[in-house]
Chains A and B, each alone.
Chain A
């Protein structure tokens, strides 16, 4: 086969994969631009309006004698928020990763990743350092550590951890109604859904977590939360 033919055949591959790659390079480019907008300067773009607010309540499994209750809040809208942050990428075995993880989250890196089920493959990681607008000389404050996992099927999971406040997210889901909490191993977790995405926020042992999943079932999300909150 000639190389031109292979190039041509690659042009016919699954368009969803092609679109995902296009979004990835556009998205990472935006993040690598580093200096975007935050807080009062934030420019929010309302993208989609979905259906009405619905609560699903599911009685979950019993874990350590505690009954898990899963409540999914269906988001009516989401916003994309651009963030002023400096990003440092890490490979899973890169030098400095363990200490940076500890600095930001207060957690032991190896103990944490051991909690994640084997069905997830760790991909790239990064740390967000926030620009400190209060300082005169361009200081950055370590803020979040983000781990990106790929599910063995086709889904993905993004776990953002912050020890000082809620982690940053460039996506914000919202609805007009008050969010109802789920309870996982006795911890309140706010789960929102939008199309094929679940977003779960909670605080466990004084550490704040945001988990965003794509193409993961509710049961898989629950299992993941049970492992992290233990």
Chain B
């Protein structure tokens, strides 16, 4: 089933949408969650949350690229889980609980100014990515968007792990310079 048909199932509120999504993109989402969390069990829970979140967000959303839409949700959920897990490991359980309880009192949304700044920063990073060759852009996003291990990137792109690390290091340096020159304090 093609992506457009799957999205239509969501729009029609047909539960088959989730089965079709799981069948086509289950592995893709699991891979992203596992990259970030390093645990199959946690990854599977995040992927299940991704399906629920997708069900709740389409409609009103109608994604043009379903894979990236799902990937972005998986990435955000996995990252949130990672942060909670790390906080727990630090023994900050109560602190995190207190913060979570207080979170109910606030909107959780950034101020308009922060949101504008964030969007401008996203645009700046997009322009930076445009300055990279397609391969380097892909390597950067495989690492920092999909969180693939360096070894996997190396084997997939047919270059050594050292080469990937050096490439990433150079791109990070260029990104920092690019953003600093444009007034971002990173």
Residues of A bordering B, CB below 8 Å:
1, 4, 6-22, 24-25, 28-29, 32, 87, 89, 91, 121, 123-124, 126, 148, 150, 154, 156
Q: Is B156 a contact partner of A28 (Cβ separation < 8 A)?
A: yes
Q: Which B residues touch A4, using CB under 8 A?
A: 79, 83
The one of A9, A10, A15, A21 in contact with B69, judged by C-beta atoms closer than 8 angstroms, is A15
The majority secondary structure among interface residues of chain A is helix
* CA of A91 to CA of B138, assembled, Å: 16
* CA of A22 to CA of B153, assembled, Å: 11
Q: Is B65 a contact partner of A19 (Cβ separation < 8 A)?
A: yes
With contacts A13-B126, A14-B126, A16-B65 taken as known, whether A32 is within 8 angstroms of B158 at the C-beta atoms is yes
Q: Is A150 a contact partner of B133 (Cβ separation < 8 A)?
A: yes
Q: Is B159 a contact partner of A1 (Cβ separation < 8 A)?
A: no
Q: Is A25 a contact partner of B158 (Cβ separation < 8 A)?
A: no
Q: Is A21 a contact partner of B185 (Cβ separation < 8 A)?
A: no
Q: Which A residues touch B155, using CB under 8 A?
A: 29, 32
Whether, in the assembled complex, B144 has its beta carbon less than 8 Å from a beta carbon of chain A, the answer is: yes
30 A–B pairs (Cβ distance < 8 Å), ordered by A: A1-B185, A1-B186, A8-B79, A9-B118, A12-B118, A12-B122, A13-B122, A13-B129, A13-B145, A17-B137, A18-B71, A18-B72, A18-B141, A20-B137, A21-B138, A21-B141, A21-B145, A21-B146, A22-B71, A22-B146, A24-B135, A24-B156, A24-B157, A25-B138, A25-B142, A29-B156, A32-B155, A32-B156, A123-B135, A126-B158
Q: Is B126 a contact partner of A17 (Cβ separation < 8 A)?
A: yes
Whether, in the assembled complex, B148 has its beta carbon less than 8 Å from a beta carbon of chain A, the answer is: yes
The majority secondary structure among interface residues of chain B is helix
**A19 nearest CB across to chain B (Å):** 5
Query: Given A22-B68, A32-B155, 18 more contacts at CB 8 Å?
Result: A1-B184, A1-B185, A9-B121, A9-B122, A11-B72, A13-B145, A15-B65, A17-B129, A19-B67, A21-B138, A21-B139, A21-B140, A21-B146, A28-B156, A28-B158, A29-B156, A121-B133, A150-B135
Q: Is A25 a contact partner of B156 (Cβ separation < 8 A)?
A: yes
With contacts A9-B118, A15-B69, A150-B134 taken as known, whether A25 is within 8 angstroms of B129 at the C-beta atoms is no
Q: Which B residues touch A6, using CB under 8 A?
A: 186
